Amino acid sequence: MTTAHDTLSSSLLGYRAPSDPKPSRRAWTVASSILVVASLLLLLVFGVIVTNDVDGPKKWLSEGETEVVESENGVVAADDGRCSAIGAEALRAGGHAVDAAVAVALCVGVVNPMSSGIGGGGFIVVRSAETAVAEAFDARETAPSAASQNMYANNPTAKEIGPLSMGVPGELLGLHLAWSKHGRLPWKSLFQPSIKLARDGFVVAPYLAQAIARSEQAMLADPGLHSVFTRDDKILKAGDTCSNPELARSLEAVSEEGPKAFYDGWVGEKLVEDVKAAGGVITKEDLKGYRVEVSKAMEVDVMGFKILGMPLPSSGTLGMSLVLNVLGSYGSPDAVKGSLGVHRLIEALKHMFAMRMNLGDSNFVNATSYERDMLSKSFAEKVQHKIFDNTTFDPGYYLTRWSQLRDHGTSHFCVVDADRNAVSMTTTVNYYFGARMLSPSTGIVLNNEMDDFSTPTEKTPISFPLHLQTSLSQTRDHCLQ
């Protein structure tokens, strides 16, 4: 068993002090360099260390810049440094990793509302140090009861944009369920930093500014988005201050009354009223009937490490296993170094993204043979043989059967506390700003998760939202690495 220092520093960022080489951990180094590269490609990660003399996170990292953190007391890595700091504060106050995760998720929903929020959903993996049990919370959105197979027949864009694209949000109930099992700090206290950010305002980071600019039309067209993300009819830019007082009020209600305020109280009622007024079909009963599904986390062995992650309908654990096995089949850590390493990673990801389109909710789709392939080393070798170091290919080379999901508007973060409890959460509103609509009376951005369902006219096989959750926790010999 390695020291806490060692395990914690390498668990999230693959950091290993150059002066302390450990050749026996070569496989891990390959895996961790892959994780680091993957996370850099997917998002800018701001890590915060939990110590008593913390400097706090750097303001923003620019593209390609990395920040390595290490700690004996815990780590929080979210895609906004302010949220990592809020999570670290919860750990410092004696919180469980789940307490920090609740605080981080709420914060991300406020400062990165294009990607996350209480109007969306998430996957949460919680690994308890005490019991060594890892649970998977599926808090993804579900279809409203009035949804039907042909509801978009006359207007296909309604599946992607506007009130009809909204699924029943699951984020708050998922967080609350995880907290009720593991949390140590008062629920209310975890909301305070985010309520303050939403009410008093926060500085628009370049990442949010970019998303606002890309969605400029929606910002000007939707009254709710307009009220939060524009000033004098101009969209907010990086460095401007953004506030969302209605969201602050909604969060305050949930902090005091629990998720009931949303699922069976005034916040939910107002949300439903706004959505109905705009032409949506979601009802109070849909909110009241929402349930989080809890199961055992999926366990796979890759390179001698146990990866814990979401089972289907998330494709993350299978996808991570396939990509790591493909890269591992090169047989040397050097294979993933430098620009050639990045090329191989990207090609492996392309094959994985194509492969995962065969998956779906196991209640509806029998994907057993694809699951088996994605876990198989010999299949990974076959995929590796399709990767050429001197070229890339047209999409048809990778995508032999299905059209690809366009995925963005999602955030991911990880927390490890001093006891080595770990949380890995993917949170989303689906596309940037989800349905491109914000409920004016609650400040909540609507997800557009209905776009993940296939309709009779489409070529995707998925009959339930399918999502990629990336890295979770790697364990070996039952200790967190």
Ligand X SMILES: *[C@@H]1O[C@H](CO)[C@@H](O)[C@H](O)[C@H]1NC(C)=O
Contact status: 366 vs ligand X (CB under 6 A): yes
The angle formed by the CA atoms of residues 332, 335 and 336, to the nearest 5 degrees, is 115
Query: Which one of 105-113, 216-224, 291-299, 361-369 is the stretch in contact with ligand X (CB under 6 A)?
Result: 361-369
Is 366 annotated to bind a ligand? Reply is: no
Beta carbons of 277 and 244 less than 8 angstroms apart: no
Which of 311, 330, 307 has its CA nearest to residue 320? 307
Q: How far is CA 369 from CA 82, 355, 356, 358, 413, in A?
A: 43, 11, 12, 10, 31
Q: How far is the CB of 370 from ligand X (least distance, A)?
A: 9
Q: How far is the CB of 343 from ligand X (least distance, A)?
A: 12
Dihedral of CA atoms 2, 5, 7, 10 in degrees, nearest 10, equals -130
Beta carbons of 435 and 333 less than 8 angstroms apart: no
Is 445 annotated to bind a ligand? Reply is: no
Q: How far is the CB of 355 from ligand X (least distance, A)?
A: 15
The tokens 């146990």 sit on which residue? 306
**Do you know the residue count of the chain?**
481
Query: Which one of 177-185, 200-208, 362-370, 373-381 is the stretch in contact with ligand X (CB under 6 A)?
Result: 362-370
Q: Is 442 a catalytic residue?
A: no
> Which of 148, 382, 388, 401 forms a contact with ligand X (CB under 6 A)?
388
Q: How far is the CB of 391 from ligand X (least distance, A)?
A: 6
> Which is nearer to ligand X, 392 or 403 (by Cβ)?
392
Q: Which residues pair with 422 in a beta bridge?
A: 127, 416
- The residues in 194-233 that bind ligand X, with binding defined as CB under 6 A, are none
Q: How far is the CB of 366 from ligand X (least distance, A)?
A: 4
> Which is nearer to ligand X, 154 or 391 (by Cβ)?
391
> Which of 368, 396, 456, 478 forms a contact with ligand X (CB under 6 A)?
368
Q: How far is the CB of 92 from ligand X (least distance, A)?
A: 49
> Which is nearer to ligand X, 66 or 332 (by Cβ)?
332
Residue of 142, 410, 426, 470 marked catalytic = 410
> Which is nearer to ligand X, 2 or 362 (by Cβ)?
362
Is 420 annotated to bind a ligand? Reply is: no
Q: Which residues pair with 445 in a beta bridge?
A: 438
Q: Which residues pair with 137 in a beta bridge?
A: 124, 294
Q: Are strands 438-439 and 444-445 parallel, antiparallel or unpaired?
A: antiparallel
As given in the structure block, the two tokens for residue 328 are 């591992």
For the chain, helix, strand, coil in percent to 5 are 45, 15, 40
Contact status: 62 vs ligand X (CB under 6 A): no
Q: 185: helix, coil or strand?
A: coil
Q: 217: helix, coil or strand?
A: helix
Dihedral of CA atoms 473, 22, 345, 471 in degrees, nearest 10, equals 10
Angstrom distance (rounded) from CA 458 to CA 298: 30
Is 228 annotated to bind a ligand? Reply is: no
> Which is nearer to ligand X, 115 or 384 (by Cβ)?
384
Contact status: 393 vs ligand X (CB under 6 A): no
Is 358 annotated to bind a ligand? Reply is: no
Binding-site residue total for ligand X (CB under 6 A)? Answer: 5
Contact status: 390 vs ligand X (CB under 6 A): yes
Contact status: 369 vs ligand X (CB under 6 A): yes
Beta carbons of 124 and 423 less than 8 angstroms apart: yes
Query: Which one of 103-111, 183-191, 366-374, 376-384 is the stretch in contact with ligand X (CB under 6 A)?
Result: 366-374
As given in the structure block, the two tokens for residue 336 are 């993933």
> Which is nearer to ligand X, 150 or 366 (by Cβ)?
366
Q: How far apart are the first and last CA of the chain?
A: 9
Query: Which one of 61-69, 132-140, 363-371, 393-401 is the stretch in contact with ligand X (CB under 6 A)?
Result: 363-371
Q: Which residues pair with 74 in a beta bridge?
A: 417
Which positions are catalytic? 410
Where does this chain bind ligand X (CB under 6 A)? Answer: 366, 368-369, 388, 390
Give binding residues for L-glutamate as ranges. 140, 428-430, 452
Give binding residues as ranges. 140, 428-430, 452
